[in-house]
Structure 1
């Protein structure tokens, strides 16, 4: 049995580890990170050429199941995967980590896009901790605030004039996030609703410090796709497919 896992997320790597040795596993990474953490099994890097190219790849490589474990904000590949799987008649499962849920004390300001996030900063603070990744900095290029931008790789897009770059990769600790907010005198955090535990400590640190959070809501996902919330659930689904080896 050949399973294609789309995504370089923490959940995708965990799933590849669970499946490795039971089925043939190929993980497809987008190639946006210079030195990605590689999962177990076979790895390919780069795009497929849209849904038609992905459907052709599924046929050519005799893929028996596809698991979309991409980042919650990688909406294009999710829609491409749904179309490709339907075209190639290959079962598709979406591994979607649950979004974050506010608790007492949180001061969240939900917005629909990075552009709305930039507009929401007025009146919230002057020193911004921006954790939306290096690809969307252009939305904040005209903002007058000071920004601490954290990303895995150095950004190469237009960015705010007053910017300090912090190259780092999660998971992050609560103690580290507390220290970061205090050291840089952060008074507003901007992030995407990525979900998961790897980057959630910043939300706890912000709540403790009384710092507001501008939270970009998740984009729409394809309808009618079966979902799993954890790598273990996804692995259990694979185990029900014809050709899968029993769990070790």
Structure 2
């Protein structure tokens, strides 16, 4: 019996040693990737890997990758490292050439980024396909305060989708939808839904095309937004008369028309 127990104990110890040896290898995949590819990584991406390797990821409060090329194969380094920074409050992917494919890949991670207050996906050639992926994750982003989607060809269909889910963002303060191909139909839908976002302080709708009826619709909706401070409607075909009416009716709001 004593001999059998000794053999059993030896096997258990050996098994534990095997498990112990396999864990560092699994955890070190990111480190190994970095060592093999660091020469080709942009400085800001290297910094994220350095935080991870030095076990200091929680020292980073934001991930700022704006203007980097993350198209196609260049997204892979981000796909590997980003999940380790799910605690951050700011994720800036402005003009990173994501396209719909990259947007979808980012959105697949967003359910873990529950602390996000700032998210920029601006100027990434995102269409209805990418927006569809985004709205599926908005329920996980209840702390979000700033959402930047400007300069993406989402058109009225995309605006409809975003508008229908704005109620999932009770803390939203800033919304950018400039140059999105929005027309009067999209604005009317947006105006209806915005009334529920009582924290909204700023909305930017520059370089879209609205008729007078839809702007009147927006005007009526703005009455519900007591926290509102700024509205930007540059080159949105708003008539001078309507501009004057908006300024008179909302003296506490700063409007930009040109």
Q: Which has the higher helix share?
A: 2
Specify if TM > 0.5: no
Q: Which has the larger radius of gyration?
A: 2
Please report the TM-score for the alignment, with normalisation by the length of structure 1. Answer: 0.24
Please report the TM-score for the alignment, with normalisation by the length of structure 2. Answer: 0.23
Q: Which has the higher strand share?
A: 1
Higher relative contact order at CA 8 Å, sep ≥6: structure 1 or structure 2? Answer: 1
